[in-house]
Amino acid sequence: MSSLVLKLKQTQQLNQRLQQSLRILQMSGLELEREVEDWLLDNPLLERPETDEFADSGLNRAVTMPRAGQQLSGDDAEDIWSNIAEEEDFKHYLHAQVCEHPLSQVEAAYVHVLIDFLDEQGCLTDSLEEIIDHTPLEWMLDEEALQNALDVLQTFDPPGVAAADLTESLMLQLMRLPASPARQMAAHLVQSSLQDLGKTRKQNVLRFRKLYPNTDSKTIEAALDMIAGLNPYPAYGFASATPTPYIQPDVWVKEGKDGWEVISNEAAWPKLQLNQEYCDLMKSAEEGAPEWKEKISEAKQRIDSLALRKSTVLRLAEYIVKNQEDFFIFGEIGLSPMLMKDAAAELGLAESTISRAANQKYLSCPRGLFALRYFFTQAVNADDDGEGFSQGAIKAVLSQLIESEDSSKPYSDEILVKLLKQRGIEIARRTVAKYRESLDIPPAHKRKFTE
């Protein structure tokens, strides 16, 4: 019996260590830094090593977020604010609400996925189809199940969360209020006259009295007051201060004598060590207290989890550089299809581990700052051997075709389908339109230029 108890205890300890390592691997740089600060406060046997302030080689610097109009590269570009405490607090607030609803494990998982796709304002600007396209194929997400999860998420607090746009957000908030003629009028104004709202209440009252002469003034005024009390952006108000928006890359990719190489950005990896003075005091004591033995075991475990996180992310970055070398030479057009399951097989890791290692991790190279997830893309119109083109490469070709077109006779989506086919890329017109829109390129009739 004692042997069985010992094995059970060892298994529990192993599972706890594994769970902590996976949790640490999943974290972004800022999340990990906060976690390490908590460790230092909780365990006096841990300390930061002394560093040489002059040892910085110039590589260890933060990358400032681009100004408006500049583009941050990578599929995670729209999630740049996920490294900022304000949004993290907001999303944690939503994740914590999932358990408050009677959902199955699968239904809850779908809601968690949608929460992670919300933008910094608390809106869900991606379509359900796009969300499915940007999640691992192995997840086998179902659009109908996602829609049901979205319906649930839109009942969460704060009201208006997960709306597609401002109008829907305001409507979701209004539907939480008691039914009344004023609410009915407010909903009508939001849906049909939102763009007509002026800067002052007096202007709005006068304008809508004329537009809706059959509605009494008190109802219009109450409706306007109701709209004024709504929150245009559900995520606002979850932090009192706005931190400096920047992303610190985890690795640097530079061209060396033997090709492209990965260089660790040491400033991005928190470093901890055992406080030797305290450890020596424990060793000198004849019988160390059990709680201190637990503390030293815990300290070693946390140091090991940091080392494992760094090792795994560096291995993944090296895999990306090896398999996407053409990207670093030619840009987006050189992107090759690459799946997480293939990376997992080559690195000898679980696919879920690869997904965690890629989560909110970034590399910086001469072409800009890129999320590691950006490099994982499925093949489009793959042949029998699985060869095909990545979405990024197709978008790059599409962009080049449109840039070189005659502005007086711009290519229609149908013509673009034919031009892509000539280059060995066979996709539907609907897909061309979808990729064009994702590049913020208007349709042909809006690109036409006449003198």
Question: What residue ranges of the chain have pLDDT lower than 70?
Answer: 1-16, 51-89, 195-201, 236-246, 283-291, 378-390, 449-451
3-state SS string for 307-369: HHHHHHHHHHHHHHHHHCHHHHHHCHHHCCCECHHHHHHHHCCCHHHHHHHHCCCEEEECCEE
Number of Cα atoms under 13 Å in the Cβ half of residue 312: 26
- Could you give the CA distance from residue 236 to residue 348 in angstroms, rounded to a whole number? 42
- Could you give the CA distance from residue 103 to residue 105 in angstroms, rounded to a whole number? 6
pLDDT at residue 409, rounded to an integer:
82
- Could you give the CA distance from residue 305 to residue 27 in angstroms, rounded to a whole number? 12
In Å, how far are 313, 389, 436 from 397, measured between CA atoms? 31, 11, 11
Which of helix, strand or coil describes residue 32? Answer: helix
| Cβ atoms within 10 Å, residue 165 | 11
pLDDT at residue 290, rounded to an integer:
67
Number of Cα atoms under 13 Å in the Cβ half of residue 297: 11
Whether residue 394 contacts residue 332, with contact meaning beta carbons closer than 8 Å, is answered with no
- Could you give the CA distance from residue 10 to residue 17 in angstroms, rounded to a whole number? 11
- Could you give the CA distance from residue 44 to residue 48 in angstroms, rounded to a whole number? 11
Which of helix, strand or coil describes residue 86? Answer: helix
- Strands 259-264 vs 63-64: parallel, antiparallel or unpaired: unpaired
Tokens of 44: 């006096």
pLDDT at residue 306, rounded to an integer:
93
The CATH 1.10.10.60 domain(s) of the chain lie at 389-446
- Strands 46-47 vs 273-274: parallel, antiparallel or unpaired: antiparallel
Q: Give per-residue pLDDT as tens, 34-53.
A: 888 989 888 888 889 876 44
Tokens of 377: 């893309």
- Could you give the CA distance from residue 28 to residue 92 in angstroms, rounded to a whole number? 14
Exposed e or buried b per residue across 410-436, where buried means at least 16 C-beta atoms within 10 angstroms of its C-beta: bbebebbbebbeeeebebeeebbebbb
Selected from 3.40.190.10, 1.10.10.60, 3.60.21.10, 3.40.50.300, the CATH number assigned to the domain covering 389-446 reads 1.10.10.60
In Å, how far are 87, 120, 208, 209, 361 from 196, measured between CA atoms? 31, 26, 9, 13, 43
- Could you give the CA distance from residue 362 to residue 79 in angstroms, rounded to a whole number? 12
Task: Give the H or E element holding residue 295.
Answer: helix 290-323
Q: What does the DSSP assignment read for 262-288?
A: EEE-GGGS---EE-HHHHHHHHHSSS-
- Could you give the CA distance from residue 165 to residue 153 in angstroms, rounded to a whole number? 15
Whether residue 28 contacts residue 83, with contact meaning beta carbons closer than 8 Å, is answered with yes
pLDDT at residue 386, rounded to an integer:
43
CA angle 106, 165, 223 (to 5 degrees): 115
| Cβ atoms within 10 Å, residue 7 | 10
pTM for the full predicted model: 0.49
- Could you give the CA distance from residue 161 to residue 393 in angstroms, rounded to a whole number? 34
Is the omega angle on the peptide bond into residue 234 within 30 degrees of 0, that is, cis?
no
- Strands 379-380 vs 389-390: parallel, antiparallel or unpaired: antiparallel
Number of Cα atoms under 13 Å in the Cβ half of residue 203: 5
